[in-house]
Structure 1
Amino acid sequence: MLLIGLDPGLRSTGWGVIEAQGNRLRHVANGAVTSDGSATLAERLLQIHTGVVAVLRAQKPDTAAVEETFVNRNPGSTLKLGQVRGVVLLAPAQAGLPVHEYSPNLIKKSVVGTGHADKDQIHAMVRRLLPGVGINGADAADALAVAICHAHHAASLSRWHAAPVLAGAKTGASA
């Protein structure tokens, strides 16, 4: 299964595509979609959306995962990031892909083992989990971490949904 991770940002939206087969992960591609800082907000959102759509068409993933917004100290920046997330969520949804969202802490915990890992720790683990990967910038590394997080959680959910239901477990009846 091909998974794309997306790390929304107004200046640069990172993307990373991996292939997941069971517990095996393989790097496919990564990069970033950028916007022109001198353009209006609407133009920049369009640039991000157009770029993400182009990546989706080129990479043809089966599913997408997007990092959730965290609230920072600057409410204006948080609102702009929320708008970027909107166009980033829209692109794979328009393509008919299932879209999953993960909090920054869950991504860090899934990739590094702790929810308070720093960027260097995350990037080091991405390199370890995807041997030989050439990472095209910090935003792309973060997007690969989102994809890795989704691969781990999608595999667990798949096994969970495939498990047989024990008699009486569904109704709460005792044996």
Structure 2
Amino acid sequence: MALRPIIRLGDPILRAVAAPIVDPTDPELARLLADMAETMQAANGVGLAAPQVASGLRAIVWRPIAVRGESSDQIVGLLNPELIPLSDVRELGAEGCLSIPELRGLVPRFARVGLSGIDLAGNRVEREATGFEARILQHEVDHLDGVVYLDRMTDMASLGYGPELDAAREGETL
């Protein structure tokens, strides 16, 4: 495993659509996911997409959310992830991004999503996510399509730096 530099907004790879993975058992993919997990942990992140470490492949890692809304110690990796909303309900919540350091903004996201993809053994994986984990997954899958959270914001006045961000509206149902 190795730490990889995190690509920052402005690099064209963050705006490109990532390529589907053809052979999930390729040993290089295991190395990529391990490096992504280590890089995410070192940066105190909760999710990371392959384009953020200069890989143009459809791969993500994230930290699932435990029962009481706290991040678990486990890190999950998934190849060729696909999301479907499982509800029309959207919630407004604060988001940041390791590729856009320090800034935060309020972003509407589906409150409940279904996720499917492939693990490193080539097995199909399916799961549901709600709340903050659903937000993480939507954020990371967006990266695979060249979308950053700024593109999803509906009110740029909510963009700010960490503590300065007015999060009073966080958790509103849209």
User: Which TM-score applies when normalising by structure 1?
Assistant: 0.28
Larger CA Rg, structure 1 vs 2: 1
> Higher helix fraction: Structure 1 or Structure 2?
1
Q: Which has the higher contact order (CA 8 A, sep 6+)?
A: 1
